A and B are shown apart, each in its own frame.
Chain A
Amino acid sequence: MTTLKLDQVSKLYRSTSRDGGLTPALRKVSFEMKPGEVISLIGESGSGKTTIGKVLLRLTKPTSGTVTFDGKDIQSYSGRGLKDYYRQVQGVFQDPFSSYNPIYRADRVYDLVRGSYFPNVGDKEWSAKVEAALDAVALNPGDVLGKYPHQLSGGQQQRLLIARALLLDVKVLVADEIISMLDASTRVDVLNLLVKLKRQGLAILFITHDLSLGNYVSDRTIILRHGAIAEMGATEKIFGNPQHEYTKMLLTAVPELHKKWQHAPLEEVAVSASGNGLNGSGADVIATDAPASRLAQASILDEITHAEQVVKRDLRAIFGGNRAAASGKSQVAVALEPPALHEFEPDHLVAEPE
């Protein structure tokens, strides 16, 4: 059984913006991907969900922690071993319109795969293989082969890229926001395709910020917040009985067709929620202060952004100011330490409020 496993993976980004410093993008994230399972990774912008995808695809190196594939650290792969890794682990990304080179025909992505992985396969066998892959993603070869990217719809382009992954001996698919740029009418086709591939034994990491899409397609769900896992477990448990305040807040904000948001008119007050420093970070503002209104709640989220900037500045002082100070490292460790996870029920882990 092939499993891809993250063990205590952390990632610090050195930011290039004016205030500089380091941003903790992932804080000791651990989970496992099994064959035949779709995991949806849900989080808001800046929660680190794309970073997880990048780490799995070896597009970025974790600052600490390991990712193992069948028990072997993926950072140890090189040359032939790495090529073999990519034969089994592939990614599809958000924007199909910029995944192709517009001056070549779209199916050139297949020729590139053939050049690197199947140099000895004959023309006939290859076209049979391509047709089988296209068939698996419900595309008609005549409709898409030989076309330029601009002649294809977003849904077709995205499915072509999934078919490209299927040409390889793919076991794990990292799907990073693959449907957020598609129209509602073609979205569902791509989702249903993921379900079909899962039934054939693929492990799929479905990265999204859309809770209803994540719920529709996945077996397990991970809610990510500020780079750490807030809640994790079987999808029906997370959505049916959310425990973490953050998950609950996300779920109440999801727009639904047949249920209206509870809209309470705003009172004429200026909202002031203060978040400052490492200790009094914005997080406990959410946990303790009942927000005056929905809009105020959003402004608390903004406050969190401010609090994070303060964290960043502190990290910078530690790293940039006096590297020799040994105490610095332990402080970073504090900032990086994720809230502890405890088991609420079988297959349902909840983090402490942060």
Chain B
Amino acid sequence: MSVNVENLSVAYRSRRGDVTAVDNVSFSLADGEIMGLAGESGSGKSTLGNALVYLDPRMKATGGRVTVDGRELPIANNNAMRPRRMTEVSLVPQYAMSALTPTRKIGKLINDLLKSHHVKDRDEVYTELRRRLALIGLKEDVLSKYSFELSGGMRQRVTIIMSTLLNPSLLVADEVTSALDVSSQRAVGEMLIEFRDRGYIKSAITITHDLSILAQIADSIAIMYAGRLAERAPTSVLVDSPLHPYTQALLNSLPEVGVRHDQVTLTGIPGRPPSLVNPPAGCRFRERCPFAFAKCVETPPFEEIKPGHLVACWKVSQEHADMAGTGQGLPVREKV
């Protein structure tokens, strides 16, 4: 297991007390796995990703344990984290398009980065840098340019190159494709796959609200809702036969190319996620869930229904238990 997250909770300090944005989340990533993390805005997906690399002063880890390659990651201790960043965990921040300072040339930025991480053999890193630039079709002269001289797609790719230059075990890529046009989206997505295949990164967490991008690049997908994980499964399983009602509703609300309003009317999910200031007890999706029943006032466990397929839903757990008795498989969602 290259990355293991156990019962991680992260809270924001606020005047009304702590707001738990990530609540008791556990998952693990295998070597070479790209996990997609999807959810609505405010679901805590970015907080979870950021917490693995950098807890900013507003955030604090209120519980849990993270290990990377068997070593514990001291996420709550900024100084202890410093040598681990870039080499073991690395982040491509949200709004990476504007993450590059306009006052320094790209090459100078990379130089600063190597200096602050006390890289001894810089020549070797530079050779590697040039190879990677050529690989993704960027010319070497981007190094002598300022960030504002590059197009959005180029900037995004330069940021990813910088974040992965020291071959981290885990790359957290937060909304790396969201602000891009479709053609650049594809280039950036394939770049992540390529970097994984070549071993530049061992595993990655890709955070986005766009499930169709994840269907392209991720090996597994985790769905987050109101600070908790709702479902986690290999990509094809989650896309074709999701079990959690939230995942099903989310997939039903996505138009695909070729689907027109006069043929199929898609439906959204009524209501909105609960506030995390004083979240209701029990399943947090139950207010919006068409299948909610009495049991849902208790918090459902995030349990493994099938190998690699974890779901936090009482209805699914019960059906699973019933089916297991009669020896039948689980019901599969009808495709639209």
Q: Which of B208-235 contact A (CB under 8 A)?
A: 209-213, 215-216
Q: Is the CB of A260 within 8 A of B183?
A: no
Task: Tell me how many residue pairs across A and B have CB atoms closer than 8 Å.
Answer: 160
Q: Is the CB of A191 within 8 A of B190?
A: no
Judged by a CB distance under 8 angstroms, whether B255 is at the interface is yes
Judged by a CB distance under 8 angstroms, whether B98 is at the interface is no
Interface flags for B226-262 (1: CB within 8 Å of A; 0: not) read 0000000000000110000000011101111111110
For A154, A212, A255, A295, which residue has the most chain B Cβ atoms within 10 angstroms? A255
Min Cβ gap A220→B in Å is 12
Q: Is the CB of B182 within 8 A of A44?
A: yes
Min Cβ gap B298→A in Å is 25
Size of A's binding interface in residues, CB under 8 A: 56
Within 8 Å CB of B258, what residues of A? Answer: 215, 239
Min Cβ gap A269→B in Å is 8
Judged by a CB distance under 8 angstroms, whether A305 is at the interface is yes
Within 8 Å CB of A295, what residues of B? Answer: 135-137, 187, 190-191, 194
Min Cβ gap A70→B in Å is 28
Q: Is the CB of A212 within 8 A of B256?
A: yes
Q: Is the CB of B255 within 8 A of A298?
A: no
Q: Is the CB of B40 within 8 A of A185?
A: yes
Q: Is the CB of A256 within 8 A of B137?
A: no
Q: Which of A266-303 contact B (CB under 8 A)?
A: 266, 268-272, 293-299, 301-302
Min Cβ gap B19→A in Å is 15
Q: Which of A193-210 contact B (CB under 8 A)?
A: 195, 209-210
**C-alpha spacing A192/B259, complex, angstroms:** 13
Chain B residue with Cβ nearest A300: B137
A255-B215, A256-B215 given; A188·B182 CB < 8 A = no
Min Cβ gap A332→B in Å is 24
Q: Which of A250-271 contact B (CB under 8 A)?
A: 250-251, 253-258, 260-261, 263, 265-266, 268-271
One of B20-28, B88-96, B151-159 at the interface: B151-159
Interface flags for B123-151 (1: CB within 8 Å of A; 0: not) read 00000000000111111000000001001
Judged by a CB distance under 8 angstroms, whether A162 is at the interface is no
Within 8 Å CB of A154, what residues of B? Answer: 41
Within 8 Å CB of B261, what residues of A? Answer: 191-192, 195, 216-217
Min Cβ gap A54→B in Å is 20
Judged by a CB distance under 8 angstroms, whether A106 is at the interface is no
Chain B residue with Cβ nearest A19: B149
Query: Which listed residue (B153, B190, B213, B266) contacts A301, Cβ 8 A?
Result: B153
**C-alpha spacing A254/B185, complex, angstroms:** 9
Q: Is the CB of B253 within 8 A of A263?
A: no
Query: Which listed residue (A186, A255, A269, A305) contacts B213, Cβ 8 A?
Result: A255
Interface size of B as a range: 35 or more
Judged by a CB distance under 8 angstroms, whether A153 is at the interface is yes
Q: Is the CB of A298 within 8 A of B256?
A: no
Within 8 Å CB of B194, what residues of A? Answer: 265-266, 295
**C-alpha spacing A297/B137, complex, angstroms:** 9
Q: Is the CB of A188 within 8 A of B260?
A: no
Query: Which listed residue (A45, A192, A215, A261) contacts B216, Cβ 8 A?
Result: A261
Judged by a CB distance under 8 angstroms, whether A187 is at the interface is yes
Within 8 Å CB of B191, what residues of A? Answer: 295
**C-alpha spacing A305/B136, complex, angstroms:** 17
Judged by a CB distance under 8 angstroms, whether A112 is at the interface is no
A44-B182, A45-B152 given; A216·B137 CB < 8 A = no
Within 8 Å CB of B40, what residues of A? Answer: 183-185
**C-alpha spacing A155/B272, complex, angstroms:** 10
Q: Is the CB of A298 within 8 A of B153?
A: yes
Q: Is the CB of A260 within 8 A of B260?
A: no
Judged by a CB distance under 8 angstroms, whether A67 is at the interface is no
Q: Is the CB of A211 within 8 A of B182?
A: yes
Judged by a CB distance under 8 angstroms, whether B267 is at the interface is yes
Q: Is the CB of A263 within 8 A of B210?
A: no
Query: Which listed residue (B182, B186, B189, B256) contacts A257, Cβ 8 A?
Result: B256
Judged by a CB distance under 8 angstroms, whether A213 is at the interface is yes
Q: Is the CB of A184 within 8 A of B254?
A: yes
Chain B residue with Cβ nearest A306: B151
Q: Is the CB of A44 within 8 A of B41?
A: no
**C-alpha spacing A301/B189, complex, angstroms:** 16
Within 8 Å CB of B190, what residues of A? Answer: 261, 263, 294-295
27 contacts between A and B (CB under 8 A): A44-B183, A154-B41, A183-B209, A184-B211, A185-B40, A185-B250, A189-B268, A191-B255, A212-B255, A212-B259, A216-B259, A250-B182, A255-B189, A256-B256, A257-B212, A258-B215, A266-B194, A269-B134, A270-B137, A295-B135, A295-B194, A298-B184, A298-B186, A298-B187, A299-B187, A302-B138, A305-B151
Q: What 8 A-B pairs have minimum CB-CB distances, sorted nearest first?
A: A299-B137, A298-B187, A270-B134, A216-B255, A44-B181, A185-B269, A189-B268, A255-B212
Excluding A212-B259, A256-B212, A263-B190, 14 further A-B contacts by CB distance (< 8 Å) are A183-B40, A184-B40, A195-B261, A209-B182, A215-B260, A256-B216, A257-B256, A258-B215, A261-B186, A268-B135, A293-B137, A298-B186, A299-B138, A302-B153
